[in-house]
Structure 1
Amino acid sequence: MPADKPQNGQHRPNRTDVLPASPASGPLTRLRTTWGAAWEDGGFLHRRAAEVGQFWRTGWDDAAVWIKTVTLIAGASVIVLMVGAAADIATTVLGSLSAAPAVDVGAVDSGGLWGTVDHPVRAYLADQAAHLTVTPAALYRAWQTAGVIALIGGFLGNAGARLTWLVWGAASIFMIWSASPDGGRAAATGLAALMWALASIVALHGLTLRPVVHHHPPHWQFSPNLHIHAAPVPASNGPADAPTSSIIRPRQH
């Protein structure tokens, strides 16, 4: 007896009618269908993957527009982040320099060769800081930092660092000349110039004053081709134009 025939005047449902219908048209099924169609030949994601592969093979010039746009936006974002980080670092360094405590110039040990040139610099900066909104210690640290950066950068061959080293040395000698006692001003300035010259061996390493001359020998191009131009031969008009020859016979006696 069929299962779906009515029994006792009542309809008996089939087993397939009792089970819930399969969600063939649900959101997850549609998402899977769309994802698979996008990766098929000619699909959206398939074309984008092919453009990325072409970019790695051919380079920037033949890249798709969307690849160039995404790359430029990402590069600009990285630059903005780097500039922001550099600004935060610079703000922190300058803040620490400005908040440096004051240093008593008289308490600094002025003995030895280094003290002879260091004490006048501290005294000069302390005198100038009295008219500025910065502590003498902050000026002294800034002077030290500039000298170290110029020394290292000059050794690495940076032109700007070498120029900074020259300006830093000239300013240091001027400060030592201005703040040194009258009796030992010449000796302190000469010693500072000597020490600066010795340090310049490191800072100006590889610098030469000789002009760089590039010799480019001329390139002669010799072509051993011999061109022979044949003279035109006049057209022949018959036997009259033929060359004649005279035969000399021996004379008989």
Structure 2
Amino acid sequence: MSNNDKQMNGQRRPNSILDQFELPPARKGRQRLTRLRTAWRESWEEGGFLYQRWEEIFQARHAGWHELASWIKTAALFGGLSLIVMMLDAAGDITSTALKGLSAVPDTGSGDRSGLWGTVDHPIRVFLADQAAHLSVAPGALYAFWQLTGLLSLVGGFLGNSGARITWTLFGCSGLAMVWSASPAGGRAAATGLAAFMWALASTVALRGLTLRPIVHNHPPQWQFNPAIHLHAAIPAPTPAGDDFGDNADTIRRLQR
């Protein structure tokens, strides 16, 4: 029997010195947790990794786009693109569902002919029903799409969208044309005029803030003209000291005599 296989007090003798210092699993887990706590604490100290990232986020509120940290720009762009993709996907699903619903709308009938609204609404229903007979679409779906167009253009025009306001104008003109075409001959002018007044009242909401006055922008010129006259006068140089203007000593002596 070798020395490594000898038994001591019913236990196997360790084969190396490293086996004597082997820690139990519980103590190893505690040391690992201690190291993690120490690393976490050091990262939040001044100059640490998490401390610097937090300072960059705090300074981003007052900094411009070019002054932001690269990782903040990357996260913002990635988040924005993800949001746009999700919105486009949701908008596509909503649009597809709405179009399928409009295609399956049954005929709603001729509607109520009485009242002010019935005087305008009934000719439109009749006109769309006559046109739908020559198309592969139900009259109810055509009427629902016409109502949806008017509602969206009304809301968009109220929010100041130029395209929605153009759509609202075309919506009103087409409505007047349908009322004129499908109304009885005796009350055609009255029904069309009533529809025009209703459309004008609704236009106060859809065309809110719209003005026909020309907008004049008075901007100061980018350059300024400052007239100035620059005179260049030739000033003679001062006479140096001791200059006798070319007179010699004999002439000075004659004058002194």
Range moving further from structure 2, 30-39 or 230-239: 30-39
Equivalent residues of 1:162, 1:203 under 8 A apart: yes
Q: Report what 1:206 is aligned to.
A: 209
Partner of residue 200 from structure 2, selected from 197, 200, 207? 197
Equivalent residues of 2:105, 2:141 under 8 A apart: yes
CA–CA distance in structure 1, aligned partners of residues 205 and 100 of structure 2? 31
Equivalent residues of 1:55, 1:62 under 8 A apart: no
Partner of residue 231 from structure 1, selected from 229, 235, 238? 235
Range moving further from structure 2, 120-129 or 72-81: 72-81
Q: Number of residues paired by the alignment?
A: 226
- Extract structure 1 runs of 4+ deviating beyond 6 A: 17-20, 218-224, 226-230
- Identity of aligned pairs, percent? 48
Q: What is the CA distance between 1:114 and its match in structure 2?
A: 1.9
Segments of structure 2 that go 5 or more residues without pairing to the other structure are 1-6, 15-19, 248-257
Equivalent residues of 1:51, 1:64 under 8 A apart: no
Q: What's the secondary structure of 1:113's corresponding residue?
A: helix
CA–CA distance in structure 1, aligned partners of residues 27 and 107 of structure 2? 78
Q: Report what 2:183 is aligned to.
A: 180
What one-letter code is carried by the residue in structure 1 that aligns with 2:207? L
What one-letter code is carried by the residue in structure 1 that aligns with 2:163? G
CA RMSD of aligned residues (A): 4.0
CA–CA distance in structure 1, aligned partners of residues 102 and 84 of structure 2? 27
CA–CA distance in structure 2, aligned partners of residues 232 and 41 of structure 1? 77
CA–CA distance in structure 1, aligned partners of residues 28 and 85 of structure 2? 44
Q: What is the CA distance between 1:171 and its match in structure 2?
A: 0.9
Q: TM-score, normalised by structure 1?
A: 0.70
1:10-49 equivalences in 2 (<5 Å): 11-12=8-9, 21-23=23-25, 26=28, 29-30=31-32, 33=35, 36-37=38-39, 40=42, 46-47=48-49, 49=51
Segments of structure 1 that go 5 or more residues without pairing to the other structure are 1-9, 243-253
Q: TM-score, normalised by structure 2?
A: 0.69
1:99-178 equivalences in 2 (<5 Å): 99-105=104-110, 108-178=111-181
